[in-house]
């Protein structure tokens, strides 16, 4: 019998050879969950391993996964996510054991191997879970400061409540889409500076927002707040998230209640959910919070993650993309656990499949800004792509690609991509 080796062990190797390639997004230490289909069949849960997908329904039907409790018969991850941390961890360990280099159970069973493994390139990837609700936060100190300098008081750019409370608004779950889905330029009311009254027209200042989305697995009861540590345990995993933003529509509609139609038209997420447990080796302390938050938001453990993030932009007639942002999730002032704890503090019930956007992730340098609003100072300073093409905001045909990964010594925990093209 093979010894059980912890799934996060950095020395692990898999019999799926592509998972052992250096800089592979999906080594055996990752095992992100998603939903896939082949030949127009019904979507089913899977785990990415190298350039392959392990079909979890097929493996479960063989009796090789016990702790998933039959949840992979579903065409969504929500049933599995609702099981809770003990089942998530035990199932991840079972999957890791099955994919381990020296384990012959699937490796040497040619019929089972053919049934259980699907090439990622031959599969269609779907929205990995049914999004129950979507909440977007505003939790980067650098982002909030830069926006405040543009639109508030340059000497006092933060609202008085910003350092005391994770600011957020409720978005639209109905328009959360998976990577690869085209995004239609939205219509809305804008108020041009040269006009006497607003007009209803196509957005002219279309932007992206680089974010990480926290995916709630365990629900909470209405009327029962949870602590920061309990909130952390409720989070199943994380996805890349692009909260597309119509800045001219937002500028006009945002007073006094904040974004509405300017953010409701599309939110793109990556197809793979990286489990919180897989990110454990990359936990880091966030920025020092001054003043100290109120007791219900106090953290006793590091709740940020060292996740490198990039955004690239390719114009419609270009063959290569230009990297326009390089930043890191560790800069976030309010952690996802604090955001979730605050979300429940009024007694608001959370459901399995709730999605919490981190808010735009910006760093301290010009190259680490997480949206065009900041980097172009609301369209005042253009930037150049390859071939000398200039942009201030997104044009039709532009393709935005978000990537993210945690870099270990000999492996990386990758998120894949969150990509969308403006049409």
CA atoms within 13 A on the CB side of 401: 14
Sign of CA dihedral 257, 261, 264, 268: negative
Q: With contact defined as beta carbons under 8 Å apart, do 275 and 236 qualify?
A: yes
- Tell me which residue of 142, 410, 130, 389 sits closest to 269, measured CA to CA: 130
Sign of CA dihedral 163, 165, 171, 176: positive
Q: Which among 143, 164, 342, 343 is annotated as catalytic?
A: 143
Catalytic residue check, 343: no
CA distance 304 to 27: 22
CA distance 25 to 333: 27
What's the burial of 155, exposed, middle or buried (CB within 10 Å: 0-12/13-18/19+)?
A: exposed
CA distance 47 to 371: 31
CA distance 188 to 321: 29
CA distance 14 to 102: 8
- How far, in Å, are 179, 321, 389, 403, 423 from residue 318 at the CA level? 20, 7, 10, 19, 16
The radius of gyration of the chain from alpha carbons, rounded to an integer in Å, stands at 22
What's the burial of 99, exposed, middle or buried (CB within 10 Å: 0-12/13-18/19+)?
A: buried
Sign of CA dihedral 277, 279, 281, 284: negative
Residue with tokens 């690869």: 180
The residues carrying an active-site annotation are 143
């Amino acid at each position: 019998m093979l010894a059980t080796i912890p799934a996060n062990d950095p020395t692990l190797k898999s019999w799926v050879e592509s998972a052992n390639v250096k800089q592979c997004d999906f080594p055996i230490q990752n095992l992100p969950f998603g939903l896939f289909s082949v030949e127009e069949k019904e979507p089913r849960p899977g785990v990415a391993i190298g350039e392959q997908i392990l079909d979890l329904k097929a493996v479960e039907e063989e009796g090789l996964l016990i702790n998933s409790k039959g949840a992979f018969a579903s065409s969504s991850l929500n049933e599995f996510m609702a099981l809770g941390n003990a089942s998530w961890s035990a199932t991840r360990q079972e999957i890791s054991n099955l994919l381990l280099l020296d384990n012959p159970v699937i490796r040497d069973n040619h019929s089972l191997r053919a049934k259980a493994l699907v090439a990622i390139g031959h599969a269609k990837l779907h929205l990995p879970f049914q999004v129950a609700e979507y909440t977007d936060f505003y939790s980067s100190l650098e982002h909030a400061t830069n926006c405040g300098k543009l639109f508030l008081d340059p000497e006092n750019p933060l609202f008085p409540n910003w350092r005391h409370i994770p600011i957020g608004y409720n978005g639209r779950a109905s328009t959360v889409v998976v990577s690869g889905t085209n995004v239609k330029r939205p219509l809305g009311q804008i108020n041009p500076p040269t006009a006497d009254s607003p007009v209803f027209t196509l957005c002219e200042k279309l932007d992206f927002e680089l974010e990480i989305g926290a995916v709630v697995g365990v629900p909470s009861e209405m009327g029962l707040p949870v602590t920061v540590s309990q909130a952390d345990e409720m989070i199943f995993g994380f996805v890349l998230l692009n909260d597309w933003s119509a800045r001219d529509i937002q500028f006009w509609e945002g007073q006094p209640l904040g974004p509405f139609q300017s953010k409701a038209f599309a939110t793109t997420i990556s197809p793979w959910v990286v489990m919180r447990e897989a990110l454990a080796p990359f936990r880091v302390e966030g920025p020092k919070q001054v003043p100290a938050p109120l007791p219900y938001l106090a953290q006793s453990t590091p709740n940020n993650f060292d996740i490198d993030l990039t955004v690239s932009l390719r114009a419609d007639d270009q063959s290569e993309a230009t990297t326009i942002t390089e930043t890191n999730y560790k800069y976030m002032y309010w952690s996802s656990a604090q955001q979730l704890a605050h979300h429940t503090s009024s007694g608001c019930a959370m459901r399995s499949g709730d999605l919490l956007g981190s808010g735009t992730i910006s760093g301290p340098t010009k190259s680490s800004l997480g949206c065009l609003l900041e980097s172009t100072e609301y369209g005042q300073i253009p930037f150049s792509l390859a071939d000398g093409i200039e942009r201030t905001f997104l044009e039709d045909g532009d393709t935005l690609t978000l990537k993210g990964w945690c870099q270990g010594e000999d492996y990386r925990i990758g998120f894949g991509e969150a990509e969308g093209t403006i049409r």
